[in-house]
Structure 1
Amino acid sequence: MLKGAIDYAPSTFEERGAAVAFTTPLLSQTRVRRGERTKLEVLIPALSEGMGTYVVPWKAVPEMVPMTMHDRYLHDLIVKEEACSPQEIRRATLKAARRGLAGPQAAQAARRALEEDEEQSTLTHYLLLLSILKAVGLESPEMLKAGIGTEEGQRLTRQLMARAADSLKLEANLLYARLAEVAAAVAPVGLAQSPKPGRLLRGMQELKGFRDSMTQWANEVPNDAAPVAAFCADVAQHTIGIGDAILADFQRRVDAIGPLMRDWETDFAVIRTHARRMAWLLDGWTHVTGAWEVALAEDRQQQALTINELFRILPLLPKKESRVDMLGAAKRVKSVHRRSVRMLEDWRTGEMDVDAIRRIELVKARTA
């Protein structure tokens, strides 16, 4: 089924699908979603340098496009796990990259990302525990001095959490369980008071840097790609505005952790929804900001080509998530958009562009 790449505008994040970090250039950042009868399908934009988006059954992709070994493994993982949310796709992507199929640097980056996820989870759990104690007036210098990882620190923590549960009129086991659920939902985003920002907070910071860099490039470089760069900056700014609003309410609710633990059914559902929405909002942007970071070290011509490539995969917001019509602006920019003279892949012969694959693997090594 073929739909126009510009005319087609999804209504929801789920309809837009989650971006997949394939290394095959033609498939790079294509999106997977659930179609009819909940079957997975992939959206491939601008196939054969055309103006359309092909919607293809997921299982048929290897028959349609020559794929790298990494991409075949990743494709199989997604089929087996029926993954289609940003978090599920990311887990599958890191699992594939960790095997070294996208190169040693990408494998190292994937292992590092998994380690950072674990560290962030532990840190978030610890900081939330301290917040609970502070909320009920039970801050303990002795516990902090002993360290929560020590036997003495754990003993003090159990005592204090039991007292906190009494203060909140909850069973201690229930308080621990709720704390674990909040930590799991919050860790990918991160806490404002954390010494290290969470993955999605970092993503917002990187997106703001991308917006500023695109704006500067559009203003300073006399090139046909300048209007495209300005459009990329506008889309980034629009995404940032929505993300900042979500994060403000998210952080306010997490900070009020005492009331959260008491009014659990209502407040935690909102926090979890905010966290999921942030993951969808930033889905696909990591590759975009990473590719631009790589291009910044290159000449203006290559930067212009990169901007044109990024326009093809730019994560436009679904209609129900935005009051601003970016689709009309995209149509206007399309008239001045110039494709990169380096073909992403000769789709007619199936010949791979090795240089393009290496560039994608370099981005993966920086953005796992």
Structure 2
Amino acid sequence: MLKGAMEYAPSTFEERGAAVAFTTPLLSQTRVRRGERSKLEVLIPSLSQGMGIYVVAWKAVPEMVSMTMHDRYLHDLIVKEEACSPHEIRRATLRAARRGLAGPQAAQAARRALDEDEEQGTLTHYLLILAILKAVGLESPEMLRAGLDTDEGQRLTRELMTRAAESLAMDAALLYARLADVAAVTAPVGLAHSPRPGRLVRGLTDLKSFRDSMTDWAHAVPGDAAPVAVFCAEVAQHTIGIGEAVLAEFHRRIGAIGPLLQAWDREIVQLRAQAARMAWLLDGWSHITGAWEVVQAESRQQQAATVNDLFRILPLLPRKECSRDLMAESKEVKPAHRRSVRMLEDWRTGRMDIDAIRRIEAVKARVP
């Protein structure tokens, strides 16, 4: 059911919803959240160039919009799993892309992403073991030389971790269980001194590059899209500022691994909350940074069109996360946006913009 247009000024990330990587242009990066009676609903911005956000019952979306095969499958996955957090949506998105419904390159990218997730989890677990041993003064050159993937390395690790558990006044099995929980929470973010940055740390780095590139583009290409680009860069900067503060606190907490494991009930709740906040902060930005990178090889006209497309799906910070009223500022930019925006799809007739679909699939071909 289409509930109609509304002014969209969410107070929390949960109210803003999680971005969904649909390939249908009108639905690309629309957001899903829990609405009345915990039912899923989707927020669709600027239908037919309107000013408001349309709230649509999730199950009604296929009846309202002509969807690609990929999007119908992804939609069904989200309905079945009732997913609405960034982690859950990303997992469903990778499952859908892995089937090849968004093209073979997107399928390969999804498989690479899943493999990288597994490798990152293993690396994080290994580095946390080293951190625990260092915290209790049990660093072992022999274990490092042997490696955790050998029988000798695993034997030495078990001996040292048993001694570490004694130093921390806890059972060895409990230490291993808590370590596994910390690794699962930490892997998507990444450790401060990891040789391979975590996915969310890489996302923050990509966002900084996007901010700089968008600022430079606005100065180099004056026109109706320039103030839109400046606003996109400002929203990125505010997100970066909050993200860096959250990341610093997250890494500080991980750095004190001994106290974290001992004051477990309090510390793990805080750690999970900070990891979740990082995921919500960066939710939706990977598509935006990827789309902007893809369009760098195209004409200035296409770049301007992309700026306007990105403005439509910009992840504005909720009121409780930002001291500035970015929603009010976005309204000041909308006149410039309307002067140069182009329609992606006539939502009443369902005609698709095939070029736009191909550009979205090109973004999905990047590792999520």
- Separation of aligned partners in 2, 1:51 and 1:339: 14
Displacement of 1:51 after TM fit?
Answer: 1.4
1:160 corresponding residue in structure 2? 160
2:187 corresponding residue in structure 1? 187
1:343 corresponding residue in structure 2? 343
1:171 corresponding residue in structure 2? 171
Q: Is the 1:308–1:339 Cα contact (8 Å) retained in structure 2?
A: no
Displacement of 1:221 after TM fit?
Answer: 1.2
Aligned residue runs from structure 1 range 305-320, under 5 A: 305-320=305-320
Aligned residue runs from structure 1 range 269-348, under 5 A: 269-338=269-338, 342-348=342-348
RMSD: 1.0
Q: Is the 1:225–1:338 Cα contact (8 Å) retained in structure 2?
A: no
Q: Is the 1:225–1:304 Cα contact (8 Å) retained in structure 2?
A: yes
- Separation of aligned partners in 2, 1:48 and 1:66: 15
Give the AA of the match of 1:3: A
- Separation of aligned partners in 2, 1:220 and 1:353: 28
Structure 2 residue 224 is matched with structure 1 residue 224: yes
Displacement of 1:340 after TM fit?
Answer: 5.2
2:213 corresponding residue in structure 1? 213
1:8 corresponding residue in structure 2? 8
Q: Is the 1:309–1:339 Cα contact (8 Å) retained in structure 2?
A: no
1:249 corresponding residue in structure 2? 249
2:57 corresponding residue in structure 1? 57
Give the AA of the match of 1:101: L
1:89 corresponding residue in structure 2? 89
- Separation of aligned partners in 2, 1:29 and 1:128: 35
Displacement of 1:3 after TM fit?
Answer: 3.1
Deviates more, 1:66-75 or 1:291-300: 291-300
Runs of 4+ in structure 1 deviating by more than 6 angstroms, as ranges, are: none
Displacement of 1:349 after TM fit?
Answer: 1.6
Structure 2 residue 358 is matched with structure 1 residue 358: yes
- Separation of aligned partners in 2, 1:225 and 1:40: 34
Q: Is the 2:143–2:153 Cα contact (8 Å) retained in structure 1?
A: yes
Aligned residue runs from structure 1 range 229-244, under 5 A: 229-244=229-244
- Separation of aligned partners in 2, 1:345 and 1:102: 18
1:106 corresponding residue in structure 2? 106
- Separation of aligned partners in 2, 1:215 and 1:96: 34
- Separation of aligned partners in 2, 1:287 and 1:173: 41
- Separation of aligned partners in 1, 2:42 and 2:106: 24
Displacement of 1:36 after TM fit?
Answer: 0.4
- Separation of aligned partners in 2, 1:123 and 1:251: 16
Give the AA of the match of 1:172: A
Displacement of 1:342 after TM fit?
Answer: 4.3
Residues 149-205 of structure 1: CA deviation (Å, up to 9, x unaligned): 100000000000000000000100000000000000000000111111000000000
2:124 corresponding residue in structure 1? 124
TM-score by length of 1: 0.98
Displacement of 1:62 after TM fit?
Answer: 0.3
Give the AA of the match of 1:141: P
> Identity percentage over the alignment?
76
**SS in structure 1 opposite 2:32?**
strand
- Separation of aligned partners in 2, 1:264 and 1:255: 14
- Unmatched 5+ stretches in structure 2: none
Give the AA of the match of 1:161: M
**SS in structure 1 opposite 2:291?**
helix
TM-score by length of 2: 0.98
